[in-house]
Amino acid sequence: MRENWQSRKGFIFAAAGAAIGLGNLWRFPFQAYKNGGGAFLLPYLVALITCAIPLMIMEYAYGRKIRGGSVKAFSKLKKKFEVVGWVQVMVPIIVMTYYSAIISVSLIFMVYSLGHALGIINWLSNPGPVMGMVVGSAENAMDLGAGISIYILVAVIFVWVCNWLIVRKGISGGIEKMSTIFTPMLMILMVIFMINAIRLQGAAIGLEALFRPDFTKILDPSIWVSAYAQVFFSTTLAVGVMIAYGSYLHEKADVVNSAFITVFANASFDLIAGILVFSTLGYLVNDMGVEFTSFGTGAGVAFIAFPIAISTMSSNVVIQGLLGFIFFFCLFIAGISSSISMLESFTTAALDKFNISRKKLVSIISIVGLCGSVCFASYAGFNFILDIVDAYVGNIVIAGLGLVEVILISYIYGTKELRQEANAFSDFKVGKWWEYLLRYFTPVLLGVVVITNLFNLVTGLFNQDMAGIISNIVFGWGTVVIMIGASVIFYKRKWTTNAHQ
Amino acid sequence: MSISAIIMMFIGCGIVWGGAIVTILIALAVDKKNSLKKNQNSL
């Protein structure tokens, strides 16, 4: 008997928790900043309506109809397309191996913040040395002898144990229960942090930089590509997560409104993160005379800029430490709620095909994933290989899978049938516009995103030295080849359940 | 902050946060209607 979500609230919290991740915190704010500020919001909103919502409805509706993960979903279209499903669920496992290393840094900083509050170590005003000690340094991606971070190694084991403990308990007993606590807690804490950040002196400078519209850029196609890429990657589409989550929906559950809520919740978090990050950076620009990009445009914002900002919010070290602890706890739960969904994507797919107990399967995946994460606990792994693997798997492969998914489901299963399926028990219904978007508009736009990303990746290779080119081939293309190879091996194995019949 | 930045902030946040609130309210209203229907049927 297949499990179901126990409540609609539980399902939406789990899906929103899956979509909301660490990337929201630094990706959206800097995408907006680089691409015309407030003017970026226009293509961003159009992308939400024309890409994220239609695809989300499609994945929920198809998952609920098939009552299975990606592997079963694609094998139902045609036997040979099963391999696409395997590649799709392989992506989150690869992403998890490096994503858990980033979550680990939040965990380490949580512990250090407690140490700060207790007066053991005073680091928040100068996080550079602690960050350097945790992530170490290496010359390039091939410098594997540079060493391994014991801090990340220990923390990454803890992260995988958390994932294992939650996912092995199943949908209602594990993921739903944890998401019902984690997701609203994350939202409330981030809103409190955002309100606090707006009150800081200089916050207006940051908000001006984030929202001042530069409408001369609006006709630049690259801004539209960036907006579609941002929306697509941010909502955890095309990696089997939402198909798996949809498959546990009750057969008479709403699909359309739940998809709208999930996408709007994720976009709301994007904007909360944008206001939080740029208000804080505006404060630092005003106070220390730094630039908005002084702390980089990635994880450095969370792990360097925020500790400094927190240290200046109060002169009391206990309050500083506790604020730091709560902030990094937010990052930790944002990461965990996404990583459990990634683990569930593969678990659902494999349980459909192989007659194996959930506990045993989750244990095996967790051990294999942990072994992969050890690579990213190395200094070269965390500082270089992580970015390479993310560029190939996190950008190119996911967008490519999205393109293949939308074409296969729209043209083989049919958008008319899918629309009837989606509308059957929904709070409100989608019209024919949804079919046109899925059949024509979304594939073209995703195609442009894939080609643009691939072009940038290949041309970027020419600007690198020999070590950069070799490491891109070994770790970038190598990971893609291993992923596809593993997918073919799983595809070739016989079904030991009757789920495909 | 400039007027244009404030307007864009209100448009962006208004649509996204407003959209989230409206869709959640629709879901709550439908759930309430369904539970009322269920209660009436059980009576």
Give CA separation, A392 vs A198, A233, A389, A482, A493, in Å: 36, 13, 5, 13, 27
Residue of B nearest to A12 (CA): B24
**By mean pLDDT, which of A89-98, A154-163, A452-461, A482-491 is the weakest?**
A452-461
What CA–CA distance (Å, rounded) separates A55 from A259? Answer: 9
- Tell me which chain B residues have a C-beta less than 8 angstroms from the C-beta of A257: 23, 26-27, 30
Q: Which of A135, A148, A189, A181 is nearest to A25 (CA)?
A: A189
Partner B, chain A 425-444, Cβ-Cβ below 8 Å: 427-428
Whole-prediction pTM value?
0.91
Work out the minimum CA distance from B43 to partner chain A, whole angstroms.
23
Confidence at residue A394, expressed as pLDDT on a 0 to 100 scale: 74
Q: Comparing A34-48, A216-230, A358-372, which segment has the lowest mean pLDDT?
A: A216-230
d(CA A452, CA A435): 25
pLDDT at position A466 is 85
Q: What share of chain A is helix, strand, coil (3-state, %, to 5)?
A: 80, 0, 20
What is the rounded distance in angstroms from the CA atom of residue A50 to the CA atom of residue A380? 40
pLDDT score for A223: 86
Closest by Cα among A352, A461, A471, A342 to A398? A342
Of B1, B16, B27, the CB nearest to A271: B16
> What mean pLDDT is predicted for residues A135-146?
85
| Angstrom distances, CA of residue A134 to CA of A58, A161, A336, A344, A355 | 42, 20, 20, 29, 41
Which of A204, A212, A271 is nearest residue B13 as measured by Cβ atoms? A271
∠ CA A367-A63-A435, nearest 5°, is 135
Helix (H, G, I), strand (E, B) or coil at A123: coil
What tokens were used for A237?
A: 């589409």
From the list B5, B20, B30, which residue is nearest A38 (CB)? B5
pLDDT tens, residue by residue, A445-469: 889 888 888 888 888 888 888 888 8
Beta-carbon count within 10 A of A176 CB: 22
Which residues from chain B sit within 8 angstroms of residue A8, using beta carbons?
Answer: 27, 31
Nearest CA in chain A to B14: A268
Q: Does B16 touch chain A (CB under 8 A)?
A: yes
Nearest CA of chain B to the CA of A24: how many Å? 15
Chain A residues touching residue B11 (CB < 8 angstroms)? 38, 41
B23 touching A, CB under 8 A?
A: yes
Helix (H/G/I), strand (E/B), else coil: A220: coil
Contact yes or no for B5 and A44 at CB 8 A: no
Write the pLDDT tens digit of every residue in A243-270: 999 999 998 899 999 999 999 999 999 9
Percent of the residues in chain A that have a pLDDT greater than 70, as a whole number: 99
DSSP result, A404-454:
HHHHHIIIIIIHHHHHHHHHTT-SS---HHHHHIIIIIHHHHHHHHHHHHH
What phi and psi, each to the nearest 5 degrees, are found at residue A148? -130, 140
| Nearest residue to A334 (alpha-carbon basis) of A392, A398, A265 | A265
Indicate yes or no: CB of B27 within 8 angstroms of CB of A257: yes
Q: Scanning the structure block, which residue is given the tokens 């400078």?
A: A205
- A487, A90 Cβ separation under 8 angstroms: yes
Mean per-residue pLDDT, A113-134: 89
pLDDT at A491: 95
Task: For residue A144, give every residue at least 6 positions away whose Cβ sits within 8 Å of its Cβ, in sequence order, or none.
Answer: A378, A380, A381
Give the mean pLDDT of A162-180.
Answer: 91
Contact across the interface for B5 and A261, Cβ inside 8 Å: no
Residue A128 has pLDDT above 80, yes or no: yes
Walk along chain B (43 residues) and give the pLDDT tens digit of each residue. 889 999 999 999 999 999 999 999 999 998 888 888 878 877 6
- Short-list A194, A215, A216, CA closest to A276: A194
Please give the average per-residue pLDDT across A337-355, as a whole number. Answer: 93
- ipTM value, please give it: 0.93
Q: Tell if the CB–CB gap between B20 and A211 is shorter than 8 Å.
A: no
Count of CB atoms within 10 A of residue A168's CB? 19
In the Cβ-directed half-sphere of A307, how many Cα atoms lie within 13 Å?
Answer: 28
Residues A70 and A238: their CA atoms lie apart, in Å, by 9
- The span from the CA of A26 to the CA of A441, in Å, is 28
Q: Is A156 on the interface with B (CB under 8 A)?
A: no
Those residues whose C-beta lies under 8 Å from the C-beta of residue B35, and which sit 6 or more positions away, are none
pLDDT at position A501: 62
pLDDT digits (tens, 9 = 90+) for A423-448: 998 889 999 999 999 999 999 988 98
Per the CB < 8 A criterion, the answer to whether A5 and A171 are in contact is yes
pLDDT of residue A483: 93
Kindly state whether B36 is in contact with chain A, defined as any CB-CB distance less than 8 angstroms.
no
The distance of A148 to chain B (nearest Cα, Å) reads 42
Distance CA A193, CA A275 (A): 10
Decide if pLDDT at A19 tops 80: yes
CA torsion through residues A133, A139, A141, A142, sign: negative
- pLDDT band at residue A500, thresholds of 50, 70 and 90? low
- From CA A476, how far away is CA A482, in angstroms rounded? 10
Residue A313 has pLDDT above 90, yes or no: no
A242: left (phi over 0), alpha (psi -120 to 50) or beta: alpha
> Is B14 near chain A, with CB under 8 Å?
no
Residue A453 to residue A233: CA distance in whole angstroms: 13
Chain B residues with beta carbon closer than 8 angstroms to that of A48 = 16
CB contact under 8 Å between A265 and B13, yes or no, is no
DSSP per-residue string spanning A297-361: SSHHIIIIIHHHHHHHH-S-HHHHHHHHHHHHHHHHHHHHHHHHHHHHHHHHHHHHHS---HHHH
pLDDT in tens, A39-55: 889 999 999 999 999 99
Residue from A75, A404, A108 nearest A238 by CA: A404
Tell me if A122 sits within 8 A of A317, measured CB to CB.
yes
- Give dist(CA A132, CA A151) in Å, integer: 11
Q: With a CB-CB cutoff of 8 Å, which residues 408-427 of chain A face chain B?
A: 427
Residue A478 has pLDDT above 70, yes or no: yes
What does the pLDDT read at residue A249? 93
Q: Rounded to whole angstroms, how far apart are CA atoms A268 and A448? A: 26
Residue A148, classed as helix, strand or coil, is strand
Return the half-sphere exposure (C-beta side, CA atoms, 13 A cut-off) of residue A380: 14
Q: What is the structure's pLDDT at A264?
A: 95
- From the list B4, B9, B17, which residue is nearest A268 (CB)? B17
**What pLDDT shows up at residue A255?**
93
Assess whether pLDDT exceeds 90 at residue A24.
Answer: no
Taking the C-alpha atoms of residue A278 and residue A284, their distance in angstroms, rounded to an integer, is 10
CB A324 within 8 Å of CB A118: no
Position with higher pLDDT, A141 vs A296:
A141
Amino acid at A3: E
SS3 A168: coil
The predicted-structure confidence for A388-400, as pLDDT tens digits, reads as follows 998 888 778 888 8
Q: Supply the pLDDT for residue A96.
A: 93
Minimum distance, in Å, between the CA of residue A347 and any CA atom of chain B: 30
